[in-house]
Structure 1
Amino acid sequence: MFDIIVANGTISTAADTYVADIGIKDGIITAIGRNLEGADRVIDATGKDVLPGGIDSHVHIAQPSGDGIVMADDFASGTLSALHGGNTTILPFCMQEKGGSLRAALTDYHAKAEGECYTDVSFHLIISDPSPQLLGQELPAAVADGYTSFKVFMTYEGLRLNDAEILATMDVARETGALMMVHCENEDAIRFLCDKFASENRLAPLSHALTRPVVAEREATHRALSLAEVVDVPVVIVHVSNGAAMEEIERARSRGRNVIGETCTQYITLTASDLDGMDWEGAKFVCSPPPRDETEQKKIWSGLERGVFNLFSSDHCPFRYEDDRGKLNPKGREDFRHIPNGIPGVECRLPILFTEGVLAGRISINDFVAMTATNHAKTYGLYPKKGTIAVGSDADLAIWDRAAGRTIAHAGLHDGSDYSPYEGRTVDAWPTTILLRGKLMVEDGALVGTKGAGAYLPRELSALAKKAQAA
């Protein structure tokens, strides 16, 4: 009757927690109840938490990163790391390079992923060159093909869009029903401060955080939300690092705007002082927006506790540290402006939030499921196939062991970087058995599945975008 039964686990979804068995057939959950029988394999989950496989909807892997710089993860290592951290789906970014074709970028990115994935994947798009051809033809065609979300940047010279370009891209989102994601930092303010710091020879990694202050993120967040209001389109504000930007989201919602808020692991764990390491060690923590301080950490926790943030992601963007093509490239060894932006973290996202959030009593386990799986699926057009435990859903399951705590060490992780920003941090639980569409991928912490088990997922429009389009 069943291929697998997961028996006696404590099941948690975004809404409920209860003890039951899960019956799986042909990769799908076909029954949930007590005392299920008749399976080729029974996995005893007594005393363990059975949760939907995590969905990390903000991941950068195998992405162009500038001359001489190479990202540490390809699809094999990136999805393997995600899997061991309890994730069964990730959403990396396919980037249109300036002057390049979006369709060509997608063809190339799919070729990199083909046969390499340990988890399911789906691609966001990054729009760097919103030409009439792209806005009028390529982007609407991509949305029709299931690439239903795209991201724009307000920072990084050569990648950022000006306000007019953002408005035009938002208008395509409104017309097609796609969902717009925005990286909010004021590039002109950052450029001004970077030039000032350089003139004063303040070039160490800490200057990265000091030249990207809270006000630069807050202003850009306000502007992005204002532009979305002009076009009347929902928007996702990604990787919010501080209370002021969070308050802009709350104010927009008070005006009736549809805004999804996202924050990340680094903003509840790291501070700007981590960038002040000796011997250039601070380069390991360079990311944008940068970590703030303990006061801002408390504000981010407040946002998680009060539901300001719908999504909790990793913003996994890995580079090697001891590498001429990574953090310590020849220019990056001398000047913070040339240190690649990004840190690894896809494998540690869930254990850290489970420990610091659920086990510390800050959030419920149902909130944890919502912020790490269900809301990602709903936001990006994968629900209810993904992101929940229900009859008819994919059998993507993570079985958590609260006795499997450990001290995080990069030697025990699976990404392609050579360090972890969370090295030495203690977590009190870990997902030790993982199923992907009913296939056992990790058992008792050991890989038993094979590369290539992961599939590409075309996506529907999100419910939020459908509602806005209908209006």
Structure 2
Amino acid sequence: MSQSYDLVVKNGRIVTPQGVVIGDLGVIGETIAEIGPALSGRVEFDATGKFVVPGGVDPHAHIEQMSGMGLMNADTFETATRSAAMGGTTSLISFAAQAEAQRISDALIDYSARAARGAMIDHAFHMIVRETDVPNFDHDITTAITAGHRSIKVFTTYNIKLTDAQILHTLRQARAAGALVCVHAENDAIIADAKAALIAAGKTAPHHHAASHPRMAEIEAVDRICRFAEYLETPVMVFHISTREGAEAIRAARKRGAPVWAETCPHYLFMTEDILHQDGLEGAKFMCSPPQRTEDDQAALWEALADGTLQLVSSDHAPYRYDETGKLSAGPDARFDQIANGLPGLETRLPLMFDAMVSKGKGGPEAFAHITSTRAAEIYGLEKKGRLAVGMDADITIWDPDASVTYTGNDLHDNVGYNPWAGRNIKGWPTDVWLRGRNIVVNGTFDAMPGSGKWIDRPQRPQMKG
């Protein structure tokens, strides 16, 4: 007598790490139980002609977080995770940001409570370290890591930057306890110098933001962080690579054997700095740091994804409304340096990448799943996420490769109020999403309750190579 499953996704193009399999996927409870032919279940979903892909893993999202400028971003865990699910993402890693003079342990308590209240997909945290000289820092960071919070973020710029000595100290603590350190790598002095010169010359419009973050700021800081990782043999993830030279610095470091990984984001793959040239302050909608670069940089980033120099594409979801609560908080005459940086991206990351990689052939469905889900789960220690395989969480997204959608001005499910990709046509669309076997997006309609997402324990130390 054949096994009966709680859910069977039938006749789909199932994207596994071993390749695309035409067949059925059976789920018992929250877990994938079998992939094979002619399965039967209590609930059956016909995926004929559709791609069956692991739910997306987005390892870089800012949610219910105060910016360095003292501005709360637009999304709660409820609105952000709803938006993520509608875009095919079932797991994310956001930030537990240490406030000034705050203990890391208290920051984790605070953000964990926010997520428990609202998150509707599964989630973990990177701990943002802005100070290392608070009481019990070494004890608290070690305790948090061993409790399953196995990633830390540090900055080399802005008013939350660490000194080189503090970064090295944090790297040592991470290595001893078994954590990955993620870095926003730009040279603070170069940015400060460029910004001051632009303001002195009266060049203060949003499009001058790009010139205020010279590419050399990224190049220098990325190379420096790679050397730190190499010196201490401590694993590092360099966030949001935007330049050809930044990618080349990562490539060179990995060839030397440095334990370094790196990511990029859709706005670096599909936008150039020309997007900032808009009427009035409209360009503020597209401001992010590092800024968008050039078509040559885009080509270099795609090359780096293809050859494994860059492992991931994250959203770097950093949501601010285009009004007085967000981008325009400094008023109608705001200079570029008074405007919050960041774009919404949780909902658009996967459709943009599916369109490019599957519909337009920049890699295919296996590479799409690897870059947007599998590799992130592996690197960050989300042990039951990121793959369609027996024993894994039943986090499943159905993609209709024939669907064609054109983004409009305010069609996302977050709380940002605008879509930075308005006017862009997407081929291929996520229609249905399951989180641990529960159907949370049903034919394009969201169906989950606040707080139904779970915190993801990460007991595994990050791998040092690969």
| TM-score band w.r.t. shorter chain | over 0.9
Whole-angstrom CA distance in 1 between matches of 2:414 and 2:299 = 29
After superposition, residues 347-358 of structure 1 pair within 5 angstroms as: 347-358=347-358
Q: Is the 8 A contact 2:116 2:453 kept in 1?
A: no
- Residue 70 of structure 1 and its aligned partner are, at CA, apart by 2.4
Whole-angstrom CA distance in 2 between matches of 1:171 and 1:380 = 18
Q: Which moved more, 1:240-249 or 1:206-215?
A: 206-215
- Residue 68 of structure 1 and its aligned partner are, at CA, apart by 5.8
Q: Per the alignment, in what secondary structure is the counterpart of residue 429 of structure 1?
A: strand
Whole-angstrom CA distance in 2 between matches of 1:20 and 1:430 = 20
Structure 1 residues 124 and 332: alpha-carbon distance in aligned structure 2, compared to 1, 3 A threshold:
farther
Structure 1 residues 55 and 156: alpha-carbon distance in aligned structure 2, compared to 1, 3 A threshold:
same
Q: Is the 8 A contact 1:52 1:398 kept in 2?
A: yes
- 1:196 counterpart = 2:225: no
Residue 311 of structure 2 corresponds to 310
Q: Is the 8 A contact 1:441 1:450 kept in 2?
A: no
Whole-angstrom CA distance in 1 between matches of 2:217 and 2:136 = 29
Residue 215 of structure 1 corresponds to 216
- Residue 448 of structure 1 and its aligned partner are, at CA, apart by 2.8
Whole-angstrom CA distance in 2 between matches of 1:453 and 1:151 = 26
Residue 13 of structure 2 corresponds to 10
2:152 to 150, 175, 199: 150
Residue 359 of structure 1 corresponds to 359
Residue 72 of structure 2 corresponds to 70
Q: Is the 8 A contact 2:266 2:349 kept in 1?
A: yes
- Residue 306 of structure 1 and its aligned partner are, at CA, apart by 1.9
Residue 337 of structure 1 corresponds to 337
Code of the aligned partner of 2:365: I
Code of the aligned partner of 1:350: L
Q: Is the 8 A contact 1:59 1:346 kept in 2?
A: yes
Structure 1 residues 410 and 146: alpha-carbon distance in aligned structure 2, compared to 1, 3 A threshold:
farther
Q: Is the 8 A contact 1:135 1:169 kept in 2?
A: no
Q: Per the alignment, in what secondary structure is the counterpart of residue 227 of structure 1?
A: helix
- Residue 134 of structure 1 and its aligned partner are, at CA, apart by 4.6
Q: Per the alignment, in what secondary structure is the counterpart of residue 441 of structure 1?
A: strand
Residue 444 of structure 1 corresponds to 443
Q: Structure 1, unaligned stretches of length 5 or more?
A: none
Whole-angstrom CA distance in 2 between matches of 1:290 and 1:230 = 29
Residue 136 of structure 1 corresponds to 138
Q: Is the 8 A contact 1:135 1:172 kept in 2?
A: no
Whole-angstrom CA distance in 2 between matches of 1:68 and 1:365 = 41
After superposition, residues 24-423 of structure 1 pair within 5 angstroms as: 24-37=27-40, 39-66=41-68, 69-131=71-133, 133-157=135-159, 159-321=160-322, 323-330=323-330, 333-383=333-383, 385-423=384-422
Whole-angstrom CA distance in 2 between matches of 1:67 and 1:165 = 22
Q: Per the alignment, in what secondary structure is the counterpart of residue 399 of structure 1?
A: strand
Whole-angstrom CA distance in 2 between matches of 1:14 and 1:245 = 29
Runs of 4 or more consecutive aligned structure 1 residues displaced over 4 Å after TM superposition: none
Cα deviation digits, residues 114-153 of structure 1 (max 9, x gap) = 1312211111110000126454211000001100000100
Code of the aligned partner of 2:96: C
How high is the sequence identity, in percent, across the aligned residues? 40
Whole-angstrom CA distance in 2 between matches of 1:395 and 1:361 = 27
Whole-angstrom CA distance in 2 between matches of 1:271 and 1:333 = 24
TM-score by length of 2: 0.97
Q: Per the alignment, in what secondary structure is the counterpart of residue 114 of structure 1?
A: helix
Q: Structure 2, unaligned stretches of length 5 or more?
A: none
Code of the aligned partner of 1:330: A
Whole-angstrom CA distance in 2 between matches of 1:444 and 1:420 = 22
Code of the aligned partner of 1:456: W
- Residue 330 of structure 1 and its aligned partner are, at CA, apart by 2.2
Q: Which moved more, 1:224-233 or 1:162-171?
A: 224-233
Q: Which moved more, 1:221-230 or 1:60-69?
A: 60-69
Q: Per the alignment, in what secondary structure is the counterpart of residue 375 of structure 2?
A: helix
Q: Is the 8 A contact 1:432 1:442 kept in 2?
A: yes
Whole-angstrom CA distance in 2 between matches of 1:130 and 1:104 = 14
Whole-angstrom CA distance in 1 between matches of 2:412 and 2:220 = 37
Whole-angstrom CA distance in 2 between matches of 1:126 and 1:134 = 16
Number of positions where the alignment pairs a residue of Structure 1 with one of Structure 2: 463
Whole-angstrom CA distance in 1 between matches of 2:324 and 2:362 = 41
Q: Is the 8 A contact 2:92 2:123 kept in 1?
A: yes
Cα deviation digits, residues 418-468 of structure 1 (max 9, x gap) = 111111111001110000000011111112333332111111234414x79
